[in-house]
Structure 1
Amino acid sequence: MTRKQFLITCVFTLMAAGILLASVPFVASWSPNPKSVTITIVDVAKIPAGGSKLIVSRGMPIMIYKPDQETANYLVSLNTVANGPNYTLENMPEYFIYVALSTHLSCMLKPAEAYGYNGLIDPCHRGFWDVSGRLIPSAHAGEGLEDLTKYNGFRKNTDTELWFQQ
Structure 2
Amino acid sequence: MDVFNDIRAKKSDIIKAGCELFKLTFCRNPPEDLEGLRFDIISKRAAAGSIKPEKLPPTTGAAAQHSLRAYLQTRDQLLLQSPSLDVLENGWKQGEQGYAPVPTTDPIALRYLLKFVSCNYAGDSDTLRCCCEKQGVKHISVCGNSCQNIHQPDDNRSEGDVGELDEGLE
TM-score, normalised relative to structure 2: 0.22
**Larger fraction in helix:** 2
**Larger fraction in strand:** 1
TM-score, normalised relative to structure 1: 0.22
Structure of higher RCO (CA pairs closer than 8 Å, 6+ residues apart): 1
Bigger-Rg structure (1/2): 1
